[in-house]
Amino acid sequence: MKQQFTQEQQYILARKKVEKIRKFYKHLATYIIINTFLSAIFILGDINDGDTFNEAFWNYHNYKIWLYWGIGILFQAISTFGMPLFLNKDWEQRKINEYLKQENRKR
């Protein structure tokens, strides 16, 4: 059973959704900026400890924070945008239309 919302209720729901999206993008920007800064510090620290730039740059331990925090970002993205981030109904409809066009060209 689908609920009928008043215009004011629809506005409040839309505003909350936009706030949630805004928070996600702020969190994503923070994730990128801080992790870039931390990775640079870790790489420079390894270089100071005697590693070459290539050894320091490719050291997994300098990037594991990206992975762990990235898992949190992924869960927040799923919470914000829903589970089917990439393969949603719009994608399905586009693919159906694409296959129909291909079949029509063959005829």
Which H or E run includes 18?
helix 7-48
Ranking 31-35, 65-69, 101-105 by mean pLDDT, the lowest is: 101-105
The length of the chain in residues reads 107
Q: How is the chain split into domains, by residue range?
A: 7-106
If one compares 4 and 70, the residue with the highest pLDDT of the two is 70
Which tokens hold the place of 83? 């589970």
Mean pLDDT of the chain: 88
Smallest CA-to-CA distance from 72 within 24, 36, 37, 19 is with: 24
Q: Please give the pLDDT value at position 52.
A: 94
* Each residue's pLDDT tens digit, 80-97: 887 766 666 777 788 888
Q: Please give the pLDDT value at position 107.
A: 65
Q: Does the predicted TM-score (pTM) go above 0.75?
A: no
Q: Please give the pLDDT value at position 72.
A: 95
Q: Which residue has the tokens 């296959």?
A: 99
* Each residue's pLDDT tens digit, 55-88: 999 999 989 999 999 999 999 998 888 776 666 6
Span between the terminal Cα atoms of the chain, in Å: 43
What SS3 class is residue 4? coil
